[in-house]
């Protein structure tokens, strides 16, 4: 190899890592946008007005469409090209973020959040495929390994950044600055997008739009009555029926040899359906409680948005540190047992929170830190275990479905725990409301352990 060729090879090598930074920035934007509004939601509601349930919709309007459209976004990348869909999704995300910042009422903000989610669902599923086409061997492992620390750091920074930006009231923008942060980040990602290599599936699958419509209507009908006050429970059976129809529809398409959003063979082993239940049950309290803690600080005790963000800091730090330790050291040695250890630590934190949450600030922060540590221990062990028995041709579908169910669980937790807290706060004291919410979360985590036992039953045998 000549000196010139070596220099060109080194330059290409360096630019690949710059392109990776662009992909990781897009991943971080998505997680930031899902968490940055959590602590600012009461401030947004006070500014825009509307029903109390809108506080929950500010978050659910993002996580629910994102969950439903993730699988569709992945398929569109296979069909039209992953780099192309990544660029379109990132550009649309920046425009939708601007619309969020300019919203003049709660309905406009909720609608813009849904558009944001659709844009994120178009861009985020492309990142893994783009990383795989740019790297191989040890470099691929290093590139994939960078995702965890970036996501952990983002999880720590999200609530605090939202609180700091809102509290700073930059140029009188208040909470709107939290959305405007996405615009320069997205612009930087788009500027680096030409460094990405185009990639698409060699045999692109057919796009299953009827299946996507059934999944969207089913999840929407399940979540809507849990958030919207006075809606009644009549949409719940309709939602369950739509989800059942989605399952039959997927099997029918697979039998006819047509493309489906979900690989039906995943459900031949009861471990994977149990993993989906485990994911839903676990991520419901982890997401729902962060909203409730922020609401308790601001609505229950009259604290500011910065106080709410700092209150969540022990949880975020515990999650980030424990996730790194579990992923790099504990899971390779102890496997799925780390998952149950994480649930035990999480339960301990919840029980301490019930006992002393309003009695001692120090114990409150310690309890939240334990919850974060438990969540951090559980998450890498869960995903490693859930994907361990998945066959190669099922990997993409399994990962997408687990990610979608995780988002759905978070939406469900926001709906259920948010409703429990707000209803109890209106009828009783803030102390009663927060204790009742933590008890409900304790029940969800206990149910997670039962589902996890079914998930790992064959592994133990």
CA–CA dist 57, 51 (Å, integer): 10
**According to the model, what pLDDT value does residue 461 have?**
53
pTM greater than 0.85 (yes/no): no
Q: How far apart are the first and last CA of the chain?
A: 55
φ/ψ region of 147 (left if φ > 0, alpha if ψ in -120 to 50, else beta) reads alpha
pLDDT, mean of residues 74-87: 86
Distance CA 130, CA 149 (A): 19
The residue ranking higher by pLDDT, 446 or 165, is: 446
Asked if 1-208 and 269-461 have one fold, the answer is yes
Task: Output the pLDDT for position 3.
Answer: 33
Confidence check: pLDDT of 413 > 70: yes
Residue 72: is its pLDDT beyond 80? Answer: yes
Question: Could you name the CATH architecture of 269-461?
Answer: Up-down Bundle (1.20)
What confidence score (pLDDT) does residue 6 get?
A: 36
Would you state the CATH architecture of domain 1-208? Answer: Up-down Bundle (1.20)
- Write out pLDDT tens, residues 85-140: 999 999 999 999 999 999 999 999 999 999 999 999 899 888 877 887 888 777 77
Q: CB–CB of 331/342 below 8 Å? A: no
pLDDT of 350 strictly over 90: yes
C-alpha span between 242 and 221 (Å, rounded)? 9
Nearest by Cα to 151 from 37, 26, 330 = 26
pLDDT of 152 > 80? The answer is: no
Domain extent listing, the chain: 1-208, 209-260, 269-461
pLDDT single digits (tens) 241-282: 998 898 888 888 878 777 677 777 888 777 888 999 999 999
């Amino acid at each position: 190899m000549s000196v010139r060729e070596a220099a060109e090879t080194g330059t290409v090598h360096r630019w690949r890592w710059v392109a990776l930074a662009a992909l990781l920035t897009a991943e971080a934007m998505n997680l930031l946008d899902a968490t940055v509004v959590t602590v600012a939601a009461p401030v947004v509601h006070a500014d825009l007005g509307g029903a109390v349930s809108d506080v929950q919709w500010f978050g659910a309007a993002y996580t629910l469409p994102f969950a439903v459209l993730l699988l569709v976004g992945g398929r569109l990348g296979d069909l039209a090209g992953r780099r192309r869909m990544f660029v379109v999704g990132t550009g649309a995300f920046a425009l939708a973020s601007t619309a969020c910042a300019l919203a003049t009422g709660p309905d406009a903000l909720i609608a813009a959040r849904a558009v944001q989610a659709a844009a994120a669902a178009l861009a985020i599923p492309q990142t893994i495929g783009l990383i795989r086409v740019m790297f191989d061997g040890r470099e691929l492992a290093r590139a994939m390994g960078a995702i965890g620390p970036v996501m952990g750091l983002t999880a720590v920074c999200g609530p605090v950044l939202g609180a700091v930006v809102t509290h700073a009231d930059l140029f009188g923008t208040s909470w709107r600055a939290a959305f405007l942060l996405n615009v320069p980040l997205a612009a930087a990602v788009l500027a680096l997008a030409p460094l990405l290599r185009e990639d698409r599936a060699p045999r692109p699958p057919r796009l299953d739009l009827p299946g996507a419509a059934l999944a969207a209507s089913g999840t929407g009908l399940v979540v809507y009555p849990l958030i919207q006050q006075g809606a009644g429970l009549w949409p719940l059976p309709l939602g369950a029926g739509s989800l059942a129809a989605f399952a039959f529809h997927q099997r029918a398409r697979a039998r006819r040899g047509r493309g489906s959003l979900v690989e039906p063979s995943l459900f031949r082993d009861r471990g994977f359906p149990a993993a989906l239940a485990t994911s839903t049950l676990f991520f419901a309290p982890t997401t729902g409680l962060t909203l409730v803690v922020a609401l308790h600080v601001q609505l229950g005790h009259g604290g500011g948005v910065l106080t709410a963000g700092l209150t969540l800091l022990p949880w975020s730090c515990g999650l980030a540190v424990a996730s790194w330790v579990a992923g790099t050291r504990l899971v390779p040695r102890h496997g799925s047992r780390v998952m149950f250890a994480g649930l035990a630590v999480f339960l301990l934190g919840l029980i301490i929170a019930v006992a002393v949450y309003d009695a001692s600030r120090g114990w409150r922060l310690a309890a939240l830190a334990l919850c974060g540590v438990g969540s951090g221990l559980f998450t890498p062990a869960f995903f490693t275990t859930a994907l361990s028995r998945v066959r190669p041709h099922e990997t993409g579908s399994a990962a997408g479905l687990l990610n979608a169910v995780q988002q759905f669980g978070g939406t469900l937790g926001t709906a259920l725990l948010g409703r429990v807290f707000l209803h109890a706060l209106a009828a009783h004291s803030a102390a009663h409301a927060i204790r009742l919410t933590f008890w409900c979360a304790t029940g969800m985590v206990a149910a997670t352990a039962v589902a996890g036992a079914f998930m790992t039953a064959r592994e133990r045998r």
